[in-house]
Amino acid sequence: MQNANHQNESKFIEALKEWDAPEIPASLDQRVFASYSAHVHRAPFWKRFFTASIPVPAPLVAAAALLLLVAGGVAWAALKSSSVQVVAQPAPPINTITKTEIVEVPVVQERIVTRIIYVEKKAPQSLMAQLPSVSQPSEIKLASHVAGDNAYTNVDLSGYQPVEEMKVRIIKGSAANEQ
């Protein structure tokens, strides 16, 4: 099969060498251009003018934008520094009547009492082992002791005066609020 293709190919190459292409008529270019113009609608000049594009390198655009920005700043500074003379006419005198009225305002004195109360706070077992054991609450001499499973606190209310007004604010407790 390859031999038959090879023979046909060689005959084809010989025939191409012997063949002379016919001359191209001069009117062919005109006919092709006229056919192209008839099939392709060309936009009007004004539309092509406004939609045309000109390729410009990006560094050139950046330099032009920077130049416009600097020129605008210089122009703005020149406008701000231009001297403008303002002539003010004196206003005619106005007769005013001043009436003074004394108003007494009540003064409220507030007292803010802030107390931090820890509820259900138990001492760690290592601290309980270090404290001396106390059998009765009457033996407590310091402000606070822990004896066994019970906590005793010595409370002394001498000199205590309750406040007239109390505002209570309850906040959620967390480890960050404890001291």
Q: How many whole angstroms separate alpha carbon 166 and alpha carbon 179? A: 23
Kindly report the pTM of this predicted structure: 0.24
Does residue 94 lie within any of the structural domains?
Answer: no
Q: Please write down the long-range contacts of 36-44, taking CB distance under 8 Å and 24 or more positions apart.
A: none
Does residue 69 lie within any of the structural domains?
Answer: yes
Q: How many whole angstroms separate alpha carbon 146 and alpha carbon 131? A: 7
Of 7 and 131, more confident: 7
Identify the sign of the CA torsion 24, 29, 34, 36: positive
Q: What is the pLDDT of residues 163-173, one digit of tens each?
A: 888 887 777 76
Share of the chain above pLDDT 90, in %: 12
In 3D, which of 38, 40, 20, 36 has the Cα closest to residue 28?
36
Does residue 34 lie within any of the structural domains?
Answer: yes
Assign residue 14 a region (left: φ > 0; alpha: ψ between -120 and 50; beta: otherwise): alpha
Does residue 42 lie within any of the structural domains?
Answer: yes
Q: What is the pLDDT of residues 94-122, one digit of tens each?
A: 777 788 888 887 777 777 777 776 666 56
Does residue 43 lie within any of the structural domains?
Answer: yes
Residue 69, pLDDT score: 96
Whether residue 19 has pLDDT greater than 50: yes
Q: How many domains would you assign to the chain?
A: 1
Does residue 29 lie within any of the structural domains?
Answer: yes
Q: Which domain holds residue 35?
A: 22-77
